[in-house]
Amino acid sequence: MEVWRLQVNTGEDSIAEYCIENNVAAMGWSLKELSESERKNIKNIKTFEDYCKYADKVYKSYASVKRLKEQVKENDIIWMHSRKEGKYYFGRVKKESKWIFNSEAAEKRDAGNQLTNIDWYEASTRADEESVPGAIATAFIKGSTLQRINKDGVKEYSQLLYNKIHDPEKEQFTYEKPNLCLDKHFYMLLSPSDVEDLLALWLYAEKGYVCIPSTNKIATAKYECVLVDPDKKIKKRKHIYIQVKKGKVDLKASDYVNLAKDGNEVYLLTTEGIVEDADKYKNITAVNPDKIYKFATAPEYNGVNEVIPKNIIPEHVLYWIEFLSEIENSNKADNN
């Protein structure tokens, strides 16, 4: 069983609503590049071999179409994002699902290549990036029109959500209960911005450092934002820079030496990668992701000034902690 993401937003157009209304997963490569006389014949396309004969004439590559036809299998789950609504949808590939070339959709919507019999479900009624795990949201940033989501825990989450939301009158199928646990899948469910927030909040709890929100700029790729130390005893205000990477991304402490001058500090966090040579530099610290995990999941946290209450943790992060905790507790109960 695989999890896929389908990019349905191209240019100013989106075919998400078309897919939902027609119970299909659809994409382009609709042979519009053929001559007018050749396009008259696309109504006669019945097999994938028929389609390929035309596609080979006008496309150097149509790998996503081939994946849709040849690699997407029964019980796979497909995700898509409606730009118009801002919502995420997912659907299961059924036994009856099959590839077709829809000549009418090819002409009107550039959605000729279709996988049929897909019932789409809203992942959440909320229209924002926080309504799905970070690993799913970030999968839509770039890549092929149709590609796998191979991040740890995405398969289990998708199966669980399907079991919870799908209409049993339409689909009697259910997946086996997935085995998710808080400590293993915590970072999988978070977005990169969630992890950035947690590091900034941890520095507030640990050292009293305060974030300056306006310093979070796209142009400052070297760091996420700037924090300051409000300690009145310090004669010269120092700046604290943080850099966060989610996933198996390595960081080099040597790249941040210039930021760590004049008493300034740098904190580097990668959730699955390594920070190289941080111990060589006095004011550069590699933050262990386990510390951030314990900070986020502890009922209370003994910080530099006082016990930090749980409500300092962003609501969205608390939601995923509760989500994973419920699954973990349910699985434990089943095994007893």
In the chain the first and final C-alpha atoms are separated, in Å, by: 28
Question: Which residues on neighbouring strands pair with residue 115, listed in sequence order?
Answer: 25, 99
Name the phi and psi angles at 58, rounded to 5: -120, -15
Q: Tens digits of per-residue pLDDT, 85-143?
A: 889 999 999 999 999 999 999 999 899 999 999 999 999 876 566 678 888 988 998 89
Q: Tens digits of per-residue pLDDT, 213-260?
A: 887 766 566 788 899 988 766 667 789 999 999 989 999 999 999 999
Helices 315-335, 182-189: inter-axial angle, 10-degree rounding: 150
- Give the right CATH number for 189-322 from 3.40.1350, 3.30.1920, 3.30.230, 3.30.530: 3.40.1350
**Looking at residues 201-223, what average pLDDT do you find?**
81
Distances (CA, A) of 255 to 258, 265, 289: 8, 13, 20
Of 63, 177, 166, the closest CA to residue 118 belongs to: 166
Structure tokens at 38: 């050749």
Task: Find the farthest-apart pair of alpha carbons in the chain and give their distance in angstroms, rounded.
Answer: 81
pLDDT band (50, 70, 90) for residue 273: very high
Query: pTM above 0.85?
Result: no
Query: Domain residue spans in the chain?
Result: 3-178, 189-322
Helices 315-335, 289-297: inter-axial angle, 10-degree rounding: 90
Of 90, 86, 178, the closest CA to residue 129 belongs to: 86
Mode of pairing for the β-strands spanning 146-148 and 210-212: unpaired
* pLDDT value, residue 46: 94
